[in-house]
Structure 1
């Protein structure tokens, strides 16, 4: 699958393969040097687990929407183009501008429909990504466009759309935050949102005391933060995420000792 997606005789690097196939739980942190294909690892890893993983339970547990959040416009455009290219090479891509006709042509189980890539950039949505919430899709956008929608205050969106986009982006999504060293306060926001999705203090009755309620959404979200220069103290910026920093830091996805010493794994041959 990886070779077909890349369009070349390029095998996945060992860490990319581990990220895709090892275990049902995706790590929260990916700490890998620049030039070793973190973007491909995240997108194609999600695609493998959602569409190609032999175990049905893993496919079912993998969120249907990949939300790729970046701090800079130029990075968004590059990632959007790469994601579309990989899907085209796998014959899984559909033009989001024509998604109504393309996606309604067949009515079959998930895993067979084409996947649309949607661009959220510069205060504008290029396509109506919320039109088909039951279908697999990839959203690539800047942090202002994506995080504001996850906060129920969608930038450049009409108020009537706020709760719709809020609901979709806080359920059944695999959030990927790339280049987190450039996110500034967006990093703390992303961490806090993840903590609230995992557990939120809710009242069972209007007169009762709030109690911690884990997994309160219909379908859980997963989050992955990536950087080539990751620092532990960055992760302590969100109050409700801070208690798990030590655990997540120890479990972060790293290059193996062999990968660090073998020159072929530092070639920078893949898109970053």
Structure 2
């Protein structure tokens, strides 16, 4: 794909990105972002990161995105949407999408730390598996983490040092 973010977003979702999504794709993660209630937080978190990682800033964008959902939510829905977006972009083979939920035992994200990947799960299961497993491993990888919960999306970026926390609050 040779076009910009609007073409990228359109190919993934069938619609055009909003101003917030386009700004994140162009500039990277801001210190704070107000997201209107009802906005598509999954698309706002995943697609700008994916565009930056695959197209416009691969070296400066962490290779892992951890999309954290509240407990008792259904991470399978986000996992399926992200997989559908990658299929629509023709990039499914370039990015691993891993569901860390319940009895699902997908260790590909841990076996291949050099690969671009998105981890999706609820905060309780994902943190207990991903963070503990990464802490035990011998590799250090840049990770970008977005936590979605009603009224707030929180992000952290770590690259072997202390995470830089960023919080996105909804517009009132």
TM-score, normalised to structure 2, is 0.78
Alignment partner of 1:21 out of 26, 34, 37: 26
Q: Secondary structure at the match of 1:5?
A: helix
Q: Secondary structure at the match of 1:59?
A: coil
1:125 corresponds to: 105
Change in Cα spacing, 1:123 to 1:181, as seen in structure 2 (3 Å) is: farther
1:32 corresponds to: 35
How large is the Cα RMSD of the aligned pairs? 3.2
Change in Cα spacing, 1:182 to 1:13, as seen in structure 2 (3 Å) is: closer
Distance 1:78 1:224 in 2: 25
Change in Cα spacing, 1:62 to 1:221, as seen in structure 2 (3 Å) is: farther
5+ residue gaps, structure 1: 95-113, 155-160, 198-214, 229-253, 255-259, 261-272
| 1:179 corresponds to 2:159 | no
TM-score, normalised to structure 1, is 0.52
| 1:3 corresponds to 2:10 | yes
What is the CA distance between 1:182 and its match in structure 2?
8.9
1:201-212 mapped onto 2 (5 Å cutoff):
none
The number of equivalent residue pairs is 165
Which of 1 and 2 has greater Rg?
1
Per-residue CA deviation, residues 154-196 of structure 1 (Å, 9 max, x unaligned), is 6xxxxxx8602x955xx3101111116699xxx8xx98xx7xx
| 1:79 corresponds to 2:83 | no
Change in Cα spacing, 1:73 to 1:226, as seen in structure 2 (3 Å) is: farther
1:107-118 mapped onto 2 (5 Å cutoff):
114-118=94-98
Runs of 4+ in 1 over 4 A off after TM superposition: 180-183, 220-224
Q: Secondary structure at the match of 1:35?
A: coil
Alignment partner of 1:46 out of 8, 31, 49: 49
Hey, which of these two has a bigger chunk of helix by percent? 1
Distance 2:69 2:145 in 1: 11
